[in-house]
């Protein structure tokens, strides 16, 4: 009853009042702050190396923005070219967020070196990246990040992330638009899923093939095969393959052309 009186203060109810302000529905924002720039990334580790790769196409819908827009970056290098870096980061998804994330992590790793007088470990950097992503939990960096480097023992280390900072260390991971095409291939060829030792038994007695670190040449070929196949089946992947190999000797970059169609 009271609410009814409040809404209609006068007997000759007029439909408005100068104090009235709550009845208009809030306008919806129509600006959407994200876009998908497509592409795919892939990381595989070995006994003494880690490879991080990504295609170089940048798309907007059905348009190709650029045929060379790298997605794999050196983190914590001494200059603009990334010379002297010992960590790699790949970002795929919304390129502007990916770029901002890369710049932030790069600054963090540099500051760590200046403040502590030693390079940041990959494990520490991985935890820091998770924190950076989670800090924007309610307006996320819309990217799937993969971090690569060598751990304290010198073995290849690979960390994969979701856009809000959940992460884990893995042997291999594919991300981006063709992740669903590449990841099953990696399960089979790197972790030997569904591979059994021939003649080891019948049915459930069949012994699974044991997965172990692969040699660098094998891994490089796997990466190339994964991408040439993804290019055939996904329109957002193509133009070029940028592979970064991190070893105790530093970072080596290998570029291979992919199909441009």
Partner 1 sequence: MNHFPESWGRPRDDIYGTYNPAYLQSTGPKAHTQSPAVTGTSVIAVKFNGGVAIAADNLASYGSLARFTDVKRLRKFSDTAVVGFSGDVSDMQYMDRLLESIDIRENYSTHGNMLNAKNLHTYLSKVLYKRRSEFNPLWNHILVVGFDGDKKPFLSSADLLGTTYSAPHLATGFGAHLAVPILRRLFPEDRPTEDITKEDAVKALRECLKVLWYRDARSLDKYSLAIITEEGVEIKEDQRLENQSWAFAETIRGYGAQVV
In the complex, the residues that contact partner 1 under the rule CB under 8 A are: 10, 12, 14-18, 20-21, 23-27, 29-31, 33-35, 37, 58, 60, 63, 65-69, 94-96, 99-100, 139
Q: Is the dihedral of CA 86, 71, 127, 82 positive or negative?
A: positive
CA distances from 57 to 68, 69, 171, 211, 256 (A): 6, 6, 25, 32, 13
Q: How far is the CB of 86 from partner 1 (least distance, A)?
A: 25
Q: How far is the CB of 54 from partner 1 (least distance, A)?
A: 14
Q: Which residues 6+ apart lie within 8 Å of 102 measured at CB?
A: 73, 75, 89, 91
3-state secondary structure of 171: coil
* Contact yes or no for 105/132 (Cβ under 8 A): yes
d(CA 155, CA 249): 13
The residue (of 4 and 248) whose beta carbon lies closer to partner 1 is 4
d(CA 44, CA 175): 12
Q: How far is the CB of 91 from partner 1 (least distance, A)?
A: 13
The residue (of 25 and 203) whose beta carbon lies closer to partner 1 is 25
d(CA 46, CA 42): 14
The residue (of 145 and 246) whose beta carbon lies closer to partner 1 is 145
Angle (CA) 222-185-240 rounded to 5° is 50
The residue (of 139 and 196) whose beta carbon lies closer to partner 1 is 139
The residue (of 116 and 259) whose beta carbon lies closer to partner 1 is 259
Q: How far is the CB of 159 from partner 1 (least distance, A)?
A: 25
Q: How far is the CB of 33 from partner 1 (least distance, A)?
A: 5
CA distances from 10 to 2, 16, 46, 252, 258 (A): 13, 11, 80, 80, 75
Q: How far is the CB of 95 from partner 1 (least distance, A)?
A: 5
The residue (of 80 and 152) whose beta carbon lies closer to partner 1 is 80
Cα of 151 vs its chain's centroid, Å: 20
Q: How far is the CB of 252 from partner 1 (least distance, A)?
A: 23
The residue (of 36 and 48) whose beta carbon lies closer to partner 1 is 36
Short-list 250, 253, 247, 254, CA closest to 50: 247
């Amino acid at each position: 009853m009271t609410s009814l009186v409040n809404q209609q203060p006068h007997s000759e109810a007029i439909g408005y009042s100068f104090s009235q302000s709550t009845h208009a529905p809030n306008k919806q924002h129509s600006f959407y702050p994200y876009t998908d720039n497509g592409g795919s990334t892939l990381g595989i580790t070995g006994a003494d190396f880690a490879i991080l790769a990504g295609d170089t196409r940048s798309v907007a819908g059905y348009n190709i923005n650029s045929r060379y827009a790298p997605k794999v970056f050196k983190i914590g290098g001494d200059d603009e070219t990334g010379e002297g870096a010992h960590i790699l980061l790949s970002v795929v998804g919304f390129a502007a967020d990916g770029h901002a994330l890369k710049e932030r992590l790069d600054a963090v790793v540099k500051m760590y070196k200046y403040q502590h007088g030693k390079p940041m470990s990959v494990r520490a950097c991985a935890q820091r990246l998770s924190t950076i992503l989670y800090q924007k939990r309610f307006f996320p960096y819309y990217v799937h990040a993969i971090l690569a480097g060598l751990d304290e023992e010198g073995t290849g280390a690979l960390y994969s992330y979701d856009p809000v900072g959940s992460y884990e260390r893995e042997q291999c991971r594919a991300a981006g638009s063709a992740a669903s095409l590449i990841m099953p291939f990696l399960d089979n060829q790197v972790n030997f899923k569904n591979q059994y030792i021939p003649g080891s038994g019948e049915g459930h007695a069949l012994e699974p093939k044991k997965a172990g670190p692969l040699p660098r040449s094998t891994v490089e070929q796997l990466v190339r095969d994964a991408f040439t196949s993804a290019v055939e089946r996904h329109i957002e992947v193509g133009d070029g393959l940028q592979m970064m190999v991190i070893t105790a000797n530093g970072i080596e970059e290998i570029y291979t052309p992919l199909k441009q169609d």
